[in-house]
Amino acid sequence: MKLMNKLVNKQHQKGFTLLESLISLVVLSIGMLGIAALYVEGLRAGRTALYRTTAVTLAADLMDRIRANRGALVAYAGAPGLNNCVNQANDCTPAEMAAHDLQLWLDDIDARMPPGSDTAVVFVPGPIVNTYRIQIEWPEPGYDQPLTYTLEARM
């Protein structure tokens, strides 16, 4: 009789019960949802990093254009516009070149930054050195306020 009880108990304890299987499925599902959330957060951080890097590159590009055309002064804070003097027989004035550079830069902003991006170029004359401030602002999903990058240089 003892031997029969052992055989019967052994048969009942083989494998998993349905409840244990369902619990392990729930735990696995929660883990998979956590991994998916981390993946989405990684994608969002990657997009934000890409826009930040692009803003840094674009601001440095305009600052290089300003350094190359130091005679324009306040013209880089003025109105953009494409001029016929670029790549032509006649030379551009510093102000015309500044307007042309600014228009090309704004076109690049429109192409590489998200819709709704805003820019500002501020020229602050000083007694000895002049200051240029370039600011790029763009909307970023998940943030209450737009993100901003500002580059300031004294020349």
Q: What pLDDT score does 110 carry?
A: 93
Domain-wise residue ranges, the chain = 18-154
State the CB neighbour count (10 A cutoff) for residue 99.
21
Alpha carbon distance 97, 104 (integer Å): 11
pLDDT tens figures, 60-69: 999 999 999 9
Q: How confident is the model at residue 5 (pLDDT cuts 50, 70, 90)?
A: low
What is the CA angle 149-151-154, rounded to 5? 165
pLDDT digit string, tens, across residues 102-115: 999 999 999 999 99
The predicted model scores a pTM of 0.74
Map tokens 């804070």 to a residue: 77
Phi-psi label, residue 15: left if phi above 0, alpha if psi -120 to 50, beta otherwise? left
Arithmetic mean of pLDDT, 90-106: 88
Q: What is the pLDDT of residue 10?
A: 57
